[in-house]
Structure 1
C-alpha cells in the first residue's frame, strides 16, 4: 500500500468507520438522526412534513415520492429528518425540485423479519432515508421546480417508449440494461438470470459505462475532435447518463472511475485502477457510510478488486499464462473475492455463472450497443430502430436459452447458506494467504529466465524451484478448498424449529439434528408473494437445498400460497431447491386448492402423500405423530379438520395445531393421546375461539408461539387467548413483534431466539 497512498487512506477510513460503530456512533447502521428528533417523530407520527421532490414513481396502489431536505413541522418548530419516502393516497402532478407540504403517518423503516430477508433499513439508510410516510395527503406545493431534472425524467420516459416500440416483449430487459429501469422487468426473468449467474448484465455497471463512455470518446476522436474536447464531452455525457439512470451505487462507482480514467487520459497521467477504486470508495462512503454494509456496494467494489488485485495472482497460481487461459481463470478470481458477500446476502452462488459468463460477456457489448443504437435511431424512425435492435434481441433469446438450461439442472447454484462473521474472516484469511502465494509464484516466474542458465547446477536449481512452486500451488488449492468448506459449514446436532414471520399466516421450518429439513405450511394473506420474499430467502440463508417433506395443515391461502409459489418455481426451474414429499391432510372430499397444490407438486417432481390420525413419520431421532384429522374426515370444514401434529425429539415435544378451534380441541381431549408439550404453535393465529382453557390444562406448554400480522383485521391475537396462555404458565412469543421465532433444543434444554431484538 506504500506505493498506493489512496488505498492506504481508504483502508484507514473503513477501519475508522468500524471503530465509530463499535463506539456507539451509528454511521454505518442504525438511525443517526439526533435522539431528540427521533423522540419527536415517535411522539407525533402524524405531523406535517415539508421537503423537496427528488423523484417519484407510480405504483399499483399509490404514488411513491422521494423527498430530500425534509423537516418535520410541529408547533411552528422545524426538525430536520434528512430524506423521506412518502406514499400519496392519490396521484398528484409533481415535478422534481418542487417543495411540497404533506400530512400522513411517519413510520420508521424496518429491518428484516426473517433469516435471509431483504434489509430495507440498511438499503434506505444508504440513501439517508430513515422514515416512510404512509397514507400521505398533499397539503401544498410550489410552482417552482427543476427544469433540468424534469428534462432528464422526460428524456428517460421518451427512451422507455422508444424501446417499448422497438424491442416489443424484450423492452423491459433493454430498459434495465440501458436506463437502469427495472419497474416492468418480469420477476421470473430476474430469477432466471440470477440462477444462471448473469443478473449483473441487467444493471448499469462498469462494463456498461466503459462500453458507452469509451465508445463515445473513440467515436468523437474519429470524427476529428481532439483529446480534450472529446474527453470533456464524454465526461459530461456519462455524468448526466449516471444521474438519469438513477444513480445506483454500481453506477456511481462505474461513472466515477470512468471520470478518473478519462481525466488521466486528458491530462496525460497514468491511470491506476486500484487508486481510482479507493478514491471512488472514499467519495461514496463520505457521502453515506451506510454503504459499507450494502450488498450492491460490496459486490460492485468486490468485482473490481477481483479483477484488479486477485486475478493476476490467481492466474499465476493456475499457470494461466496465455491470453485465453487468463480469460478462463480471471472470472474465478472475481468469484472467490465476492463469494462471502454473495452467501451473506443471498445464501447462494451460481456455479453455472462460471461457465455462462464466458459465453455471455463477450456479446454483452453487442446487446448494449444495439439498445443504444435503437434509442438514437428511434428518435427519427421506429422501423429503423426495430431493425438495428434485432441482433441484440437474437442474443437475448440465446441468453434465455442458457438460463433455462441452468434452471433445469440441479447443480447450477450452490446454496451454502448465510455464513457467520468468523467464517467470513477465516475465509478471507485463507484467500489473502493464497494471494500472497500467487504473488510469490509470479515473482519467481519473472526470475526464471535468469536462473535457467546452461549449467548442470542451474538446471538442478531450476528443477528444485519447479518442485517448490508445484508444492505451493497444491497448498494454495488446499487452502482455498478448506476456506470454502469453512464458509459453508453449518453445525448440526440440535433440533431447530423456525416460525417465520409471514404476516397473517403460518410458515414453519424444521431442521433435524441429522440435517433433514421440513416445511410446515407457508402462506400469508397480508404479504404478497410469500414464497419468493419469505420462504425462498429463509431456505437459502439456512443452506437448505433439499426439503424432505412439506406438511400442509389445511388449504386456506394464508397457509399454502407461499408453498404453491415454491412448487411452481421448482417446476419452472427458477430455483435449485427441491423437495421429496408433499404431505396433505387425508380428506375424503378434496377442495380445489388441495388438488391444485397436488398438481403443482407433481409438476415439480415432488411425490404427494396423505396423512391422518395415527400416522407416524419417523426421521432419525425426530418423529412426527399425526393426531388429527380422522381418516374418514370429509374435508368440508378445512379449519376444524386441519392436520394436527406432534414433533418429538428426546424429551422435547412440540404441538402444531393449524387453525383448529374449540370443537376439535374437545374431540382431541376426548380421544386421548395428548400430553404435556414443551412448545405450542398456537392455533388459528391466536383466535379467541381456539386454545381453550381445558386444552391448555392438558398440554401445559412452556412456550407458546403466535404467528399473525400486526395490522390484521381479525383481532388476532385475542387478548383472552393471550391471557389464557399466561395463566397456564406459558411464555408467549409473537412473530408480529419479534420477527421469526426460533426454538432450538438438544432434546432436553430449550433455547428461544428472536430475529428482531428490539
Structure 2
C-alpha cells in the first residue's frame, strides 16, 4: 500500500462508504431527497416537473425520456429531485439538451418484491433517478438543444441503420457489441449467452475499448502520425465512443483506464494497472456512491482484479506454465474473484464459461473489427459492408452453436443460490489467504528464473531439494482445500424447516414450497398483469434459493393468471435456456381438457417431464411433508376451470396449509358437505380475495390463523374484496397481502409459525 498510495486511498474510501451505509446514511441507496419533498410527492403524485432532456428512446408502449437537473414545481416554488425517467403518452419531437415542462404522475422507483428480483430502485439510484413519471404530457419545450449531443445521437442512429442493413438477423448482436445498444436483442439469445458464460462480450467493456482504442492508435502510428498526435486523437475518439454507447459503468471503467494508459504512453510514464483501477473507482464512486453495490461495477472491477492480481498467483499455485494452461487457470482465477458477486446478484454461475471463453475471447476482436469495418464501408456501400461482415457473422454462428451446446449440458451452470454477507466475507478471507500462498510459491520460481534456470518445470523440480518440494506440495494442497471449503461455504443453505413462499406475481398466483429434506415444489405460476413472469420472477426466485430441481409443478387450473409463468418455465427447460429441471407436472384430472391444458402437457413432454393428473383422494408423500388433493372429483369435466380447480392441503407435523386455487362459494359448499375439510393453520385465499369466495361457513370450518391474498394493487376486479377481508378478520385470521409486502414466506418447524415479508409497508 505504501508503494501505491492511491490504492490505499481507494480502500479507505470504499471502507468509509461501507460504514456510512451500515450506519443508515443513504449514500449507497435509498432516497437522498429531503423527507418533506418525499412526503409532498407521495401526497400529490399528480405533479409538474421541468428538466433537461439527456436521452430518449421509444419503448413498446410509450416514449421514454431521461431528464436531468429536474425540478418539481409547486405554487411557483422549485424543489430539486435530481434525475427522472418520464414515460410520455404520445411521441414528441425531442432533442438532447432541450428543456421541457411535463405534467404526469410521479411514482417512486419500486424496490424488488421477490427473492432474486431485479433491484430497479438501486439500479436507478446509481443514475440519480429516484422517481418515474407515468402518463406524462409535455406542456412546453424550448427550441434550443445541444447540437453536439444531437450529432452523437444521429451518428449512433446511422451506425445502427448500417448494421441493420448489412448484418441481417445478426444486427442486434452487432449493435450490442459495437454500439452498446441492446434494445432489439432477443431476450432468449441473451439467456443463451448467459448460460454459456459469454454474455460479457455483449457489453462494452475493457476488451472492446482496448481492441478498438489500441487498434486505432497503432493504425495512426503506422500511417505516419507520432506518439502525441496518434495518442491524443485516439483519446478523443474513445471518449466520444464511450459517451455515444451509453456510458454504462463497465464502459466508464474501460474508457477511463484507457485514457490513463494512453496518457502514460504519451508522456513516457509507467502505467500501473492497480493505480489506474483505483483512480477509476474513486472517480466513479465520487460521482455516484451507489455504484459500490451495483452488480455491473463489482463485476467490471472484479474481472480486472482477477486478471491483474489473482491470475498470476493462482497460476503459480497450479504450476501452470504453458500458454494454454495459463489461459485456463487465469479464466478460473477470474471466476473465483467474481463468484460471490455472481451468486449474490444472479444465483448461478456458468461452469461452461471456464472453457468456452478460451474459444471465444481470442476471436472477439475479429467480430468487433468486422462490425467496425462494416460501419466504415457502409457509409459508401451497403453491399461492401455485407461482404466484409460475413466472417464476423460466421463467428457469431459459431458462438450460437457453443451456447446451444451448453444449454444441453445439465452441469453447464452451478445454481448456488444467493449467499449471506457472512458467507461472502468468509469466502474472500479464504481467497486472499490462497493468493498469499500463491505469492509464497511465486517467489522461489522468480529466484530460479533470475538465476537462469529456464528448463521445464518437471526437470526444474528435480533440482529443487526434496524438503522444498514437499513444502510446495503442502502449500498447494492447503490452498486447494481452502478454496473448496470456501466454495462449499458460499453455496451452503441450511435446511430444517418447511418454507412456503407466496411470490408477488401481480394479479395471479405463484407459490414455492421448500421442504426440510430439500425437496421443492411450485404451485401455479402465472399472472395477468406481469409479462414474462417466468424470466423475471420464477427463474430468479428459484436461482436465489439455490433450487436447480423441482420435484413437482402443480397446476390448480388453466387460467392465464395461474399458468403463464409456469408455461414459460417449461419452455425454457425444453429449449435448453435453463439448467433447472423438474420431475413431475401435476395437472387437474378433467375429462375435457382445454387447449391450455394440452399446451402445458406438450411443453412438459418436450422438457422430459413426467405428466400426472390429480383428483380427489390422491396423495403425495415426500419425506416429512405430504400433499392431499381434495378436489376436483373423479368425474370432473373441466368445463368450469375455476370451480373444478385442484384444491390441496399440505401437511407437515402439526402444520396444515390449504391451497384453494380460484374456487368459489359453490365448490366450498361441496367441500364442506364432503366432510374432508379440517382446521388449518394457513389459507392461501381463493380467487385473489374475490367476494364470491372464502365464505363465512367455509372459514368457520377451517379456522385459519393466517390468510395470504395474492393480487395486484392495480387490478380492475376489486380484489381483494372488503367483504372477504372482513370475513377473514372476523374469523380471527391475520391477513397478509403480496401487493403490499411483496413475497410472503411462512416458515415452520411443524409447530411454531414464522412470517417473513419481503419488503416493509
* Coarse TM-score class (shorter-chain normalised): over 0.9
Q: Distance in 2 between matches of 1:462 and 1:51?
A: 73
Aligned residue in 2 for 1:321: 321
* CA deviation map 1:276-296 (0-9, x unaligned): 000000000000000011000
CA shift in 2, pair 1:135/1:462, >3 Å: same
Aligned residue in 2 for 1:756: 759
Offset of residue 22 of structure 1 = 2.3
Q: Distance in 1 between matches of 2:293 and 2:305?
A: 17
Name the SS for the 1:113 alignment partner: coil
Moved more, 320-329 or 59-68: 320-329
Name the SS for the 2:302 alignment partner: helix
Aligned residue in 1 for 2:45: 45
Name the SS for the 1:47 alignment partner: strand
Q: Establish whether residue 691 from structure 1 lines up as the match of residue 694 from structure 2.
A: yes
Name the SS for the 1:334 alignment partner: helix
Aligned residue in 2 for 1:562: 565
Offset of residue 189 of structure 1 = 0.4
Name the SS for the 1:631 alignment partner: coil
Offset of residue 8 of structure 1 = 0.5
Q: Distance in 1 between matches of 2:72 and 2:451?
A: 73
Offset of residue 321 of structure 1 = 2.2
Offset of residue 461 of structure 1 = 7.5
Aligned residue in 1 for 2:666: 663
Q: Establish whether residue 376 from structure 1 lines up as the match of residue 379 from structure 2.
A: no
Aligned residue in 2 for 1:90: 90
Q: 1:507 aligns with which of 488, 496, 510?
A: 510
Name the SS for the 2:635 alignment partner: coil
Offset of residue 460 of structure 1 = 9.7
* CA deviation map 1:518-573 (0-9, x unaligned): 00000000001101100000000010110000000000000001010000001110
Q: Distance in 2 between matches of 1:382 and 1:29?
A: 47
Aligned residue in 2 for 1:480: 483
* CA deviation map 1:366-406 (0-9, x unaligned): 00000000000000011110110000000001000000000
What are the equivalent positions in structure 2 for 1:163-562 lying under 5 Å apart?
A: 163-448=163-448, 462-562=465-565
Q: Distance in 2 between matches of 1:523 and 1:78?
A: 43
Q: Distance in 2 between matches of 1:451 and 1:310?
A: 25
Aligned residue in 1 for 2:105: 105
* CA deviation map 1:137-177 (0-9, x unaligned): 11000000001101111110000010011000000000000
**Matched residue pairs, number?**
754
Q: Distance in 2 between matches of 1:189 and 1:61?
A: 23
Q: 1:736 aligns with which of 736, 739, 743?
A: 739
* CA deviation map 1:670-697 (0-9, x unaligned): 0011111010000000000000000000
Q: Distance in 1 between matches of 2:597 and 2:325?
A: 54
Moved more, 648-657 or 460-469: 460-469
Q: Are the equivalent residues in 2 in contact too, given 1:115–1:537 (CA < 8 A)?
A: yes
What are the equivalent positions in structure 2 for 1:560-639 lying under 5 Å apart?
A: 560-639=563-642
Q: Distance in 2 between matches of 1:235 and 1:196?
A: 34
Aligned residue in 2 for 1:81: 81
Aligned residue in 2 for 1:32: 32
Aligned residue in 1 for 2:458: none
Unaligned runs of 5+ residues in structure 2 are 454-460
Aligned residue in 2 for 1:137: 137
Q: Are the equivalent residues in 2 in contact too, given 1:451–1:462 (CA < 8 A)?
A: no
Name the SS for the 1:83 alignment partner: strand
Q: Establish whether residue 702 from structure 1 lines up as the match of residue 685 from structure 2.
A: no
Name the SS for the 1:78 alignment partner: strand
Q: Distance in 1 between matches of 2:34 and 2:295?
A: 26
Offset of residue 24 of structure 1 = 2.4
TM-score (norm 1): 0.98
CA shift in 2, pair 1:695/1:294, >3 Å: same
Q: Distance in 2 between matches of 1:433 and 1:519?
A: 41
CA shift in 2, pair 1:460/1:192, >3 Å: closer
Q: Establish whether residue 156 from structure 1 lines up as the match of residue 159 from structure 2.
A: no
Aligned residue in 1 for 2:67: 67
Q: Distance in 1 between matches of 2:168 and 2:535?
A: 27
Aligned-residue Cα RMSD (Å) equals 1.2
CA shift in 2, pair 1:371/1:451, >3 Å: closer
CA shift in 2, pair 1:694/1:369, >3 Å: same
Name the SS for the 2:91 alignment partner: coil
Q: Are the equivalent residues in 2 in contact too, given 1:452–1:462 (CA < 8 A)?
A: no
* CA deviation map 1:351-370 (0-9, x unaligned): 00001000000000000000
Q: Distance in 1 between matches of 2:240 and 2:165?
A: 24
Offset of residue 39 of structure 1 = 1.9
Q: Distance in 2 between matches of 1:214 and 1:403?
A: 29
Q: Distance in 1 between matches of 2:652 and 2:482?
A: 38
Offset of residue 203 of structure 1 = 0.4
Q: Distance in 2 between matches of 1:24 and 1:245?
A: 35
Offset of residue 449 of structure 1 = 6.7
Q: Distance in 1 between matches of 2:551 and 2:9?
A: 51
Offset of residue 462 of structure 1 = 2.0
Offset of residue 21 of structure 1 = 1.6
Runs of 4+ in 1 over 6 A off after TM superposition: 449-453, 458-461
Aligned residue in 2 for 1:653: 656
Aligned residue in 2 for 1:644: 647
Offset of residue 735 of structure 1 = 0.3
Aligned residue in 1 for 2:456: none
* CA deviation map 1:420-439 (0-9, x unaligned): 11110110011011001001
Q: Are the equivalent residues in 2 in contact too, given 1:452–1:459 (CA < 8 A)?
A: no
Aligned residue in 1 for 2:23: 23
TM-score (norm 2): 0.98
Q: Distance in 1 between matches of 2:280 and 2:222?
A: 30
Q: Distance in 1 between matches of 2:240 and 2:678?
A: 69
Offset of residue 326 of structure 1 = 1.2
Q: Are the equivalent residues in 2 in contact too, given 1:106–1:132 (CA < 8 A)?
A: yes
Q: Are the equivalent residues in 2 in contact too, given 1:507–1:559 (CA < 8 A)?
A: yes
Offset of residue 14 of structure 1 = 0.5
Q: Establish whether residue 676 from structure 1 lines up as the match of residue 679 from structure 2.
A: yes
Q: Are the equivalent residues in 2 in contact too, given 1:285–1:291 (CA < 8 A)?
A: yes
Q: Distance in 2 between matches of 1:569 and 1:200?
A: 21
